[in-house]
Structure 1
């Protein structure tokens, strides 16, 4: 047997049936209904044209939901299935659907327990549409059969005729992979799906899928912990870190002799940042006293140094009792 239904046969279910069918891979679609779909992994139920009017469906696993009373049927196809399409209509194209279908004599008129990969033939019209599916079935592929198509005149162009209609399912709590169609509702608050590469979360209160955004990390702050160099005093210091980005602003008062700018001051050490609040590599910082301004540097060792200074108010350097603001922002 290549199509293996689990918990369908009245007797004779084999261990292989139970191992291969995806028992337990259920995403809810209501209180006691299951979201039907293909179980992801590799290329389940891949479609390959093997002849002018023949299509091969590869191996795969899926869940097919019947009525609420029936429940969901786990299915495994463990060997490729070859399907034969009937010739095209003389005048119009049509769309046929390749489906997984479950027959259960306890709930339908088939009088048999059976699962099959089969074709549902569409209607040939000027504007063909995919056919309505029978109960307890799952659409895998739509195939456009051109007018007049037959094995004798080239058959179906498999490169353009196939439309992927596989939708996917996963276990409770799993992220439903991207598949055909995104216009389905979630089943519970906090369910996730991959919407063409965007992670979405189901908001049950508003009955809508919302783009998931990770919670903002907490903001860390410090107002001290620096080691201040000789010739300077600390007036104030504030630093904050969020998501690995550090910003700081320090106000330092010059207590030593005037630092002349000729034009450079020459790597004058002001203070050292505490461990854990230092950049990975050397970076530039800004410094100013409201009149003059200059360039500072912050090293990976945390040392804050003033390198150059352009005086203002006729002052060509940093005089004693001058307050200098130094600020920087960097990613750790």
Structure 2
């Protein structure tokens, strides 16, 4: 029969109808087959799984399998066999070979005469004896069975130390959509992307090709050391040095203690988002612009010189005679507002003349292009034989984010009069 139903046929429900329609009973492996395994659970919830446990009496070959429940998946057309062991099953292992060790299996096996012509229609707990060898291997498990334990039987063994002899091989299975508790050596793939399992107290998610560590809950912060590659962009973890980190899609990046919070000095190297703030080691508040940390409030750009110089040039010049400073200039980056306040000043004197004027003015270059040449309208000026200190300040628009330079320029109104310039300064402040 190709299409089977449960609790629908008017002339009776077959055993196959019942088994193949246990659609929600166990973890999927394919679209029509489930995972064979022991149902997890323990008294008081202390352990992952206690059903179908193998125990024995040390020094003897006597053992037993405890009660428990399991599901054993066969072919698609035969379906899955639910099995319950309701009482302890006693087992006796054969004595060790005279020369070589061997490995036996303890299995939960289904006999179905309709398919295997065994003459039996039942489930049984059995020992499958291995072949003695110098390097023994476990025997092949029979069809339609669940391997519970392997047991190593040394040569000449008349008894075993059961805590060392048996290896737990019990797989587990849970209802469709349930989180599968399993062992660390379980290499079985997930049934579908988004399938979860718990392994060594770490939650993992099947992403379609691999099991990836997952936080304790969706949106939770993964404990330090539990997550190497994140499950989704925006996942958080605590690093081994106690720094909160966020997965940006390709790498873990340090994150402020809370969105919008200011990251402590030294806690963040690369910003997690444009507009994040941090305290720098120098105590300056910084903002991440998407590629670099910049001062959140740009400090003034300032330069000054106490090395006096003179000029009698009637056109603006950056060079002064008698001064080691060939050009007094300051560079800065235009703030996001696109405007700055430019201030220039100096202590001026016109030698032997009360009618001549000395000028100090800024020249502004945006990159290599001069956008404001030195001119009297933007200059600070003074005339007199006794020195006087003057300055001027004005707002000037520029292109945000560009690198600019302000250079101090000087001139005299009379080519016959030498003007002296001392204590010169240029200052640039962000403007709104």
What TM-score comes out, normalization by structure 2 length? 0.44
CA contact (8 A) 1:176 1:193 kept: yes
1:125–1:30 distance in 2 versus 1, CA, 3 Å:
same
Quick one: which of 46, 49, 57 aligns to 1:50? 57
Gaps of 5+ in 1: 1-9, 219-240, 250-285, 292-332
* Corresponding position: 1:182 with 2:182: no
CA contact (8 A) 1:50 1:56 kept: no
Instruction: For residues 211-232 of structure 1, give each alpha carbon's deviation from its aligned partner in whole angstroms, at most 9, with x where no partner exists.
Output: 22544489xxxxxxxxxxxxxx
Aligned residue number for residue 247 of structure 1: 261
Q: Which runs of 4+ in 1 moved over 4 A?
A: 241-246, 286-291
1:262-301 to 2 correspondences below 5 Å: none
1:145-160 to 2 correspondences below 5 Å: 145-150=153-158, 155-160=159-164
CA contact (8 A) 1:38 1:166 kept: yes
Quick one: which of 127, 133, 144 aligns to 1:119? 127
Instruction: For residues 200-258 of structure 1, give each alpha carbon's deviation from its aligned partner in whole angstroms, at most 9, with x where no partner exists.
Output: 11122xx222222544489xxxxxxxxxxxxxxxxxxxxxx977566259xxxxxxxxx
Larger Rg: 2
* Corresponding position: 1:167 with 2:177: no
SS at match of 1:177: strand
SS at match of 1:160: helix
Quick one: which of 70, 77, 80 aligns to 1:62? 70
SS at match of 1:61: strand
Q: Displacement, 1:65?
A: 1.2
Q: Displacement, 1:179?
A: 2.5
Aligned residue number for residue 128 of structure 1: 136
User: Separation in 1 of the partners of 2:71 and 2:127?
Assistant: 18
1:89–1:244 distance in 2 versus 1, CA, 3 Å:
same
Quick one: which of 199, 208, 221 aligns to 2:203? 199
Gaps of 5+ in 2: 1-11, 43-49, 220-233, 237-254, 264-282, 286-296, 301-432
CA contact (8 A) 1:23 1:74 kept: no
Quick one: which of 59, 74, 83 aligns to 2:82? 74
SS at match of 2:181: coil
1:167–1:217 distance in 2 versus 1, CA, 3 Å:
closer
1:125–1:217 distance in 2 versus 1, CA, 3 Å:
closer
SS at match of 1:106: helix
1:159–1:217 distance in 2 versus 1, CA, 3 Å:
closer
User: Separation in 1 of the partners of 2:212 and 2:79?
Assistant: 29
Instruction: For residues 19-74 of structure 1, give each alpha carbon's deviation from its aligned partner in whole angstroms, at most 9, with x where no partner exists.
Output: xxx99531111111110011000111122113601111111111111122211111
Q: State the Cα RMSD in Å.
A: 3.1
Aligned residue number for residue 95 of structure 1: 103
1:32–1:149 distance in 2 versus 1, CA, 3 Å:
same
Aligned residues: 210
User: Separation in 2 of the partners of 1:137 and 1:64?
Assistant: 6
SS at match of 2:35: coil
Q: Displacement, 1:105?
A: 1.0
Instruction: For residues 164-200 of structure 1, give each alpha carbon's deviation from its aligned partner in whole angstroms, at most 9, with x where no partner exists.
Output: 1111111111111022632111111111112322221
CA contact (8 A) 2:256 2:262 kept: no
